[in-house]
Structure 1
């Protein structure tokens, strides 16, 4: 199953690959070179298809927990001052996505979308310290009665030139449901209440909509 954001790119890629196959087959006489070019075209097609895959995820709905919004690796767990919405200290958990990860962004908690804003910006590498404030990004805040307010921020990387954000203020968010898509390498930051109990470690691999990032600290 492929994500709708990839439909146009996948179609164009198929056309290019088929046209290139015909050209290679008709105009390249050297057998080893013809085979090499065809294999390269198939690998390219495979990379595009795997990037836009959209596997089904089984989210266990739980208002006491925050699930990972994306697939990837946890690269930041620290207390920071969140400047845009909360304007106070929060726990930040960041997940980095490589080009081979699924790039669907999912709601970390269920509730009401109370804030959604797009920011144009630079394309620094996603792990750059200033990427969260200077890169192209979107900020979404969801609130529910159990967990309070949770902010997740899509951040474009050096390769990502387009962030897609479906969340609008006033929407009802379903935990694990799609909130957006980021094309190519990127990262997502989560900003959580200070009394949150973090359930992941640095460099841990997580799955969007399934891995538990944090829970209410009772």
Structure 2
């Protein structure tokens, strides 16, 4: 597993922020051991959460001429009819959702949708739809 390229700046800023906060706590409250340890543990947990968010897991991707593959890990929260959208190449990364939000996938009319509402999906693995 690697770190996604979009995460480098955020991770660097997180390290800087954590370093500054810990240095200030060490300087101001050097005699309050429990507070310093609390801040250290909280800082470590925060850093682990940031690293976990920007992970780029190694996966064997699904592919096929008429398959629409899930672009991100998450849960299907709505399925609606829409207008036509952009084209992308299978297994290609096309953007990054920083700390949440959503991904919209537009499909042509007549496409068979293979997922259901509230289904948990994996990016690059789950087949969202089959184009007829």
TM band (smaller chain): 0.7 to 0.9
Give the helix-richer structure, 1 or 2.
2
Q: Tell me, which stretches of 5 or more residues in structure 1 are unaligned? A: 87-139, 143-172
Q: Greater relative contact order (Cα 8 A, min sep 6): structure 1 or 2?
A: 2
Corresponding residue for residue 35 of structure 1: 37
Give the strand-richer structure, 1 or 2.
1
Among candidates 44, 57, 60, match of residue 59 of structure 2:
57
Work out whether residues 66 and 131 of structure 2, in 8 Å CA contact, stay in contact via their aligned partners in 1: yes
Corresponding residue for residue 21 of structure 1: 22
Among candidates 64, 78, 101, match of residue 76 of structure 1:
78
Work out whether residues 177 and 209 of structure 1, in 8 Å CA contact, stay in contact via their aligned partners in 2: no
Query: Displacement, 1:37?
Result: 1.2
Runs of 4+ residues over 6 Å off in structure 1: none
TM-score between both structures, scaled by the size of structure 2: 0.86
Q: How do 1:136-175 residues align onto structure 2 when only pairs under 5 Å count?
A: 141-142=86-87, 173-175=88-90
> Closer, same or farther in 2 for the Cα pair 1:61/1:20, shift >3 Å?
same
Work out whether residues 71 and 208 of structure 1, in 8 Å CA contact, stay in contact via their aligned partners in 2: yes
CA distance in 2, matches of 1:43, 1:35: 12
CA distance in 2, matches of 1:19, 1:45: 14
Greater Rg over alpha carbons, structure = 2
TM-score between both structures, scaled by the size of structure 1: 0.54
